[in-house]
Amino acid sequence: MVCLHRQTQRMKILHNMAASAVAPPLDLAQTQKVRSALDGLTPAQLQWVSGYAAGLAARNETLPSAIAETATDPSNTMTILYGSQTGNGRAIAEELKQSAVSRGFAVRLFSLADYRPANIKRETLISLVVSTHGEGDPPDDAELFHEFLLSGKAPPLKQLKYSVLALGDSSYVNFCQTGRDLDARLSELGAARFVPTIECDLDYDETVAAWADDVLEALPKVLESVPSVPRLHAVKRPAVYNRHRPFEAVVLTNQKITGANSTKDVRHIELSLEDSGLIYEPGDSLAVIADNPPQLVEELLETLDFSGSEEVEVQGAAFTIRDALRAKLEITVPNLGFLKAY
């Protein structure tokens, strides 16, 4: 864990103040609804939504609320995801969507290129159509999703029911490898197959038709049984973090990016802001509040002849001297105040 708080550039604060002088046209409840509906969309999806809303406004139309609910609530919706290099998988996914919609089911369809992998934790029902290319590699549009799901960053998926249709060609050594990888990993993360995974060779029409029938037949029952997943930030008020109340962020990645023989130790660090409500933009800075090295704390205690459990007061709060030296006081650089007092 590291602690951090958000510092925003002065320029940005001034900009925000100017913007807030114009009254927003939405009330608080509407603003929260819009935020929760847009939460997690990719830039391309946001642009589409923006154009869609502009089109409605131009025609002076409003969206019926029932449709809005269905479209934004993944808990009663089947999400169809596809990864496809030459179009076979996309056609199968689109056909499945049409069949499901014509039977009255709510469906969302995404190319994996347009799908934010971390959103999978909010899904309850997925049908995944994915081919294999290269030498057992995912198609280009599925690369990021494949990488994310197989990495340690993938979340537990106990809420998820899924089915995989893997496309391939049995003349390749790694037949349907991508579908196999994703199927195995989804299961490992706790998701449950609602229809068995299917592997399709080049002559796939009949196999695909049988799989689609199974999916459509299973839908009424599965949609009834899927639990509703609480949506992030839907009703939570964003917490206020500052230097006295920093957000505890989980370190997702800490990787040395300098060469093995380099004397410099430069790191690529990824921190999770999940559930913080914090949004960083280019130009914002981030402060990391680190503890002092435990060995240095122990050396100081020994030199000063303290056991470590003595109580001291720092900025009006009580700590043991060990905790104060570890987390509250600067002990690595002698500052002016210290030298004067000494």
Ligand X SMILES: Cc1cc2nc3c(=O)[nH]c(=O)nc-3n(C[C@H](O)[C@H](O)[C@H](O)COP(=O)(O)O)c2cc1C
Give the residues lining the site for ligand X (CB under 6 A): 84-89, 131-136, 139, 167-169, 172, 174-177
3-state secondary structure of 290: coil
Report, in Å, the least distance between residue 175 CB and ligand X. Answer: 4
Report in angstroms how near the CB of residue 89 gets to ligand X at its nearest. Answer: 3
Show the DSSP H helices in 167-230 as ranges: 177-188, 205-225
CB of 176 to ligand X, least distance (A): 5
Between the alpha carbon of residue 244 and those of residues 7, 117, 187, 236, 325, the distances in Å are: 13, 33, 42, 21, 17
Using CA atoms, how far apart are residues 119 and 283, in angstroms rounded to an integer?
Answer: 26
Nearer to ligand X, 85 or 159 (CB): 85
Q: Which is nearer to ligand X, 88 or 276 (CB)?
A: 88
DSSP 98-154: HHHHHTT--EEEEEGGGS-GGGGGG-SEEEEEEE-BTTTBPPGGGHHHHHHHHSTTP
Q: What is the largest CA-CA distance in the chain?
A: 86
Position of minimal CB gap to ligand X: 168
Q: How far is the CB of 184 from ligand X (least distance, A)?
A: 15
What gap in Å lies between CA 190 and CA 5, rounded to an integer?
34
Half-sphere exposure of 113 (CA within 13 A, CB side): 8
Q: Specify the residue, 174 or 187, whose C-beta has the smaller distance to ligand X.
A: 174
Q: Is 337 helix (H, G, I), strand (E, B) or coil?
A: helix
Q: To the nearest whole angstrom, how small is the minimum distance from the Cβ of residue 157 to ligand X?
A: 24
Nearer to ligand X, 201 or 330 (CB): 201
If the CB atoms of residues 24 and 134 are measured against ligand X, the closer one turns out to be 134
Shortest Å distance, C-beta 90 to ligand X: 6
Residue 288: strand, helix, or coil: strand
Nearer to ligand X, 97 or 122 (CB): 97
Closer Cβ to ligand X, 45 or 174, answer by number: 174
CB 170, min distance to ligand X, A: 7
Are the beta carbons of 96 and 129 closer than 8 angstroms?
A: yes
